Amino acid sequence: MAGLLASTGCGSNGGPCRTLDGLKQCPETSVCGGFAIGSPFRVDDFCASERLIWRYDATARELQLVYQRLAADCARHVGLELRRHGAGYRLVPLLDLGPSTVCLCDYGLALRVSGPPLRFALEIDGISGVDARWSGELDLSLGSGTIVLDDQPALFCTPNSLVLPGEG
């Protein structure tokens, strides 16, 4: 049974950039097991916990949101989108509801957001999209932070060992 649930290679670039309320957002999606070695979104302890890591570059006015270890069916296209929600924003994991398989993948999802305000009200949705898994405010003047959504290690997670060209 464990063989059926193990991660296999899958993933995409995350889709085209879009603009919402003057904020340009560009998504990226990893293959199963997270982003490749050499990627700016790579996290060495990918399987350790499900979390959102954020980094803000004040000079470029760019916020990077990196959702680590979203478990989803391998046959589905996954992505990440920022939507307006009240006075702030909601970060929503997206799933293409295509045919399902018996394969479970752990993805890394990233979103680059250009021009966010320095105080950024944010909710993080679960896959169901009904209830917020986390709600609060990011103080971008701090430069970076981590929000842990689930501190339990994944059962069948295998970190990506691919190396980006020129990094090996």
The 10s digit of each residue's pLDDT in 50-61 is 889 999 999 999
pLDDT digits (tens, 9 = 90+) for 76-118: 677 888 888 888 888 888 877 667 677 778 888 899 999 888 7
List Cβ neighbours of 45 (8 Å cut-off, separation of 6 or more).
none
Q: Is residue 155 situated within a structural domain?
A: no
Structure tokens at 20: 């919402």
CB 56 within 8 A of CB 105: no
> In total, how many domains does the chain have?
1
List Cβ neighbours of 98 (8 Å cut-off, separation of 6 or more).
75, 76, 77
Q: Is residue 41 situated within a structural domain?
A: yes
Cα–Cα distance for residue pair 96/108, rounded to 1 Å = 16
Q: Is residue 154 situated within a structural domain?
A: no
Q: Which of 22-26, 39-43, 79-83 has the highest mean pLDDT?
A: 22-26
Which residue segment(s) compose the domain that 95 sits in? 2-144
What pLDDT, on the 0 to 100 scale, is given for residue 64?
Answer: 93
